[in-house]
Chain A
Amino acid sequence: MTLGTVINDYRQAVFDTDRDRALSIVRDAVESGVSPEDIVFKVVIPVVEAMMKAIAEDYDNNLAQHFMTAQISAQVTEEMLPLFATPPAIVGRAVLGTTKGDLHSLGKRIVIGCLRSLMVDAIDLGVNVAAETFVEQAVAHQAQVIGISAMMMHTAQGADGCLRVRALLAERGLEDKIRIAVGGAPFRFDPHLYRAVGADAWAPDGISAGRVIVDLIEQVRR
């Protein structure tokens, strides 16, 4: 089995939202001698990037595909990492959660899956997360990015959400060290809303969120 066929078959399985096929393609490849490192860096990550590109070009894509791409990519990466010859370098770290008063967990879950497959150490803080917790956890984990998900207008722009996280970062002199990314339905309906709530960036879907958060990590690390 050549790496080229693995990439093609795996890409097709992910686009078809067929997890079982994707997993068996990867497992067969490892069995036939493809290295776990190649699976992650030459198969999984390029397919996530192909998906980002497709989304940016407004190719017909949907939640089911975003969800399955993140799901499959994270699962394959998780299976491969322990098999690496030497532990891989992580790109950076992010803490993510759904904001205070909000219990919607799906968006965050997709973003985290995507980040993990991109070699970002993504820490899940859960739902209904207080602004203080976002900041404390980011500091404790030395994360470069706080990711905040909000599904409703009152939780996206309310005083206990991102606005408060921004105020806390400013108060504690952490603004150079930690960036804020936001996402969720209200930000998709109003692409300027992220600025009004004091975030540094936003993304319309979990796959593009991967790129946006990696960019923020690089800004901080520079």
Chain B
Amino acid sequence: MITGMDRLAAAIAGRAADRIPVFCNLLEQGAAEVGVSMRAFYQSPDLVAEAQLKMQARYGHDNVWSLMYVGKEAEMLGCRDILYADDGPPNVADFILKSPDDIDRLTIPDDLFDHPGFADSRRCTEILRAEVGGKTPICAYVTASMSLPALLMGMDKWLELLLMGPFDLRDRLLAKCSDFFIREIDAYRKAGADILVYSNPFGSTELLPMAMIRDLAMPWMERDLAPGGVDGVVYYCGSARFNKVIDLVIERLGIRAFYLSPLDDVAAGKKAVAGRGLTFGVIDDIKMVGWSGNETRAEVRRLIKAGKPGGRFGFGTLLMPLAIPERSIQIMLDAALEAGAQDEGEP
């Protein structure tokens, strides 16, 4: 039987397959799936893995996540206060870097793989590995050095430091965050993740001007990725647009897979990738909360029609909000499996 892993491999290589890879990121929905509160859910890697496996078996999409929530990265670096919600993802509620001295005091653990803060993510990855390893791609989420400070000091303090300095302090912080990235991506690879989503909103022209991406962000991305290479790495800007930087990313970083923003033009994104890699067209899952079944179906078809011809294309979602009706999830996936059928590959 052809698996999600086979479909992904075919799409990367531009070969034909029974259909395009279809990624659906269902985490919040997992709590109800296994019948526990959101808080209990996000504290249990076993439940996060179990719920995802159940939903994947039911809906038939092609991926699962070792991610519990992004705030875990801050926890690994000392954050002790997480705000749980009944109807949404957990959020960092305490910023560990409150003063310039805190930045100089910040230490990055040498070994993350055996670090207690990584234990849940590792356990989740290992369960998934044991259950569907080699069949269903396991995704890991790793925040780039330039975006991690937003979780450690808040987005406004970080923008201030990034744009107004002191620049030596900024660069010392970035170096530490880059060291953390290098160790985290390595730990996820060791734990058995297949796909490493390199999340960097600051690699998007929605956040920074092109010149700053080229001259400031790029060298840090090179530093992040050089030690471990770009095997399995997917470029993603946290749902911010990045069509304009695709060329630069391929040239400077060698990344060959792109998870576009729902606000990016899919055909234009694919054109920019120009046969050099895999492009994911991503649905605006925030709009899905209010869409009718027909609207959801039409949007799935539109995206796949724009991206599928010529191969090397996949369909994906962002972090699906809990407010999306279950019926809409089913409709979206049915439509994606149907419209995505018979991936002809590259001509």
Within the assembled complex, what's the spacing in Å between the Cα atoms of A17 and B164?
9
A6 to B208, CA, bound (A): 26
Write out, one digit per residue, whether chain A residues 146-166 have a CB within 8 A of any chain B CB (1) or not (0). Answer: 000000111101100000000
Is B254 positioned at the interface, with any CB of A under 8 Å from its CB?
A: no
Is B268's beta carbon under 8 Å from chain A?
A: no
A192 within 8 A of B: yes
Asked if B91 lies at the interface with its beta carbon under 8 angstroms from chain A, I say yes
How far apart sit A17 and B156, CA to CA, in the bound complex (Å)? 15
In chain B, residues 284-299, which have Cβ atoms closer than 8 Å to a Cβ of chain A?
Answer: 284, 286-287, 289-290
CB within 8 A of A62: which of B155, B160, B206, B322?
B206
CB distance from A175 to the nearest CB of B (A): 24
**Interface presence of A19 (CB below 8 A):** yes
Neighbour of A153 across the interface among B91, B160, B164, B321, CB < 8 A: B321
Contacting residues of chain B (191-224) with chain A, CB-CB under 8 angstroms: 205-210, 212
Residue of B nearest to A68 (CB): B163
Residues of B within 8 A of A63 (CB): 159, 206-208
A143 nearest CB across to chain B (Å): 23
- Cα-based distance from A109 to B154 in the complex (angstroms): 12
**For the complex, is B345 an interface residue (Cβ under 8 Å from A)?**
no
Complex Cα distance, B149 from A106, in Å, reads: 14
CA A153 – CA B285 in complex, angstroms?
10
Cβ of A62 and Cβ of B163 under 8 Å apart? no
Chain B 280-315 interface 0/1 with A at a Cβ cutoff of 8 Å (1 = within): 000010110110000000000000000000000000
Q: Residues of B contacting A60 with CB < 8 Å?
A: 205, 209-210
Contact present for A64 and B93 (CB under 8 Å): no
The secondary structure that dominates the B interface is loop
Also in contact, A189 and B88, with CB within 8 A (given A62-B207, A65-B209): no
Q: Does B36 contact A (CB under 8 A)?
A: no
B248 at the binding interface (Cβ < 8 Å): no
Partner of B209, one of A19, A64, A109: A64
Return the CB mask of A124-160 against B: 1 if under 8 Å, else 0. 0000000000000000000000000000111101100
> In the bound complex, what is the Cα–Cα distance between A220 and B88 (angstroms)?
35
B83 on the interface (CB 8 Å rule)? yes
Cβ A103 vs Cβ B93 within 8 A: yes
Residue of B nearest to A191 (CB): B287
Contact among A65, A101, A196 for B290, CB-based, below 8 A: A196
Q: A101-B85, A154-B87 are in contact. Are A67 and B159 (CB under 8 A)?
A: yes
How many Å lie between the Cα of A152 and that of B322 in the bound state?
11
Q: In the bound complex, do residue A152 and residue B156 qualify as a contact, i.e. CB atoms below 8 Å apart?
A: no
Q: Is A57 an interface residue (CB 8 A)?
A: no
Pick the contact of B155: A71, A104, A152, A154 (CB < 8 A).
A104
How far is it, in angstroms, between the C-alpha of A19 and the C-alpha of B161 when the chains are bound? 13
**Interface magnitude class on chain A:** 20 to 34
- A104 vs B95: C-alpha distance in the bound complex, in angstroms? 12
Instruction: With CB as the reference atom, state the residue of chain A lying closest to B89.
Output: A152
Is B341 an interface position by the 8 A CB rule?
A: no
Whether B87 lies near A158 (C-beta < 8 A) is: yes
Interface flag for A171 (CB, 8 Å): no
Q: How far is the CA of A74 from the CA of B212 in the complex (A)?
A: 24
Tell me, yes or no, whether A35 is within 8 Å of chain B by CB. Answer: no
Closest to A101 in B: B85
Report how far A105 CA is from B160 CA in the complex, Å: 13
Q: Taking the complex as formed, is B40 at the interface, i.e. its CB lies under 8 A from any CB of chain A?
A: no
Are B207 and A64 closer than 8 Å at their CB atoms? yes
Task: Known A17-B163, A101-B85, A154-B88; judge A189-B323 contact (CB<8 A).
Answer: no
Q: Is B277 an interface residue (CB 8 A)?
A: no
Q: Which residues of B contact A62 (CB under 8 A)?
A: 205-209
- The answer for the CA separation of A193 and B159 in the assembled complex, in Å, is 27
**Cβ of A67 and Cβ of B323 under 8 Å apart?**
no
Query: With contacts A63-B206, A101-B83 known, is A153 near B290, CB below 8 A?
Result: no
Nearest-neighbour CB distance to chain A for B157, whole angstroms, equals 9
For residue B154, which residue of chain A has the nearest CB? A105
CA distance A102 to B91 in the complex (A): 8
Question: Do A193 and B290 touch across chains, with their CB atoms under 8 A apart?
Answer: yes
Q: Answer yes or no: B262 CB below 8 A from chain A CBs.
A: yes
Q: Which of A68, A101, A104, A190 contacts B286 (CB 8 A)?
A: A190
Interface residue? A46 (CB, 8 A): no
* In the bound complex, CA of A127 to CA of B57 (Å): 40
- B121-166 interface (Cβ within 8 A of A): 154-156, 159-160, 163-164
Tell me if A186 is interfacial: C-beta within 8 Å of chain B.
yes
Nearest-Cβ distance from residue A217 to partner chain B, whole angstroms: 25
Would A19 and B164 count as touching, CB distance under 8 A?
yes
Bound together, the chains give a CA A60 to CA B245 distance in angstroms of 13
Chain B residues positioned under 8 Å from A192 (CB to CB): 290
CA distance A64 to B208 in the complex (A): 6
Residues of A within 8 A of B154 (CB): 105-106
15 contacts between A and B (CB under 8 A): A60-B205, A60-B210, A67-B159, A68-B163, A101-B83, A101-B85, A105-B155, A106-B154, A106-B156, A153-B286, A154-B87, A154-B88, A154-B322, A155-B88, A158-B87
Please report B residues at the A interface, Cβ cutoff 8 Å.
83, 85, 87-89, 91-93, 154-156, 159-160, 163-164, 205-210, 212, 239, 262-263, 284, 286-287, 289-290, 321-323
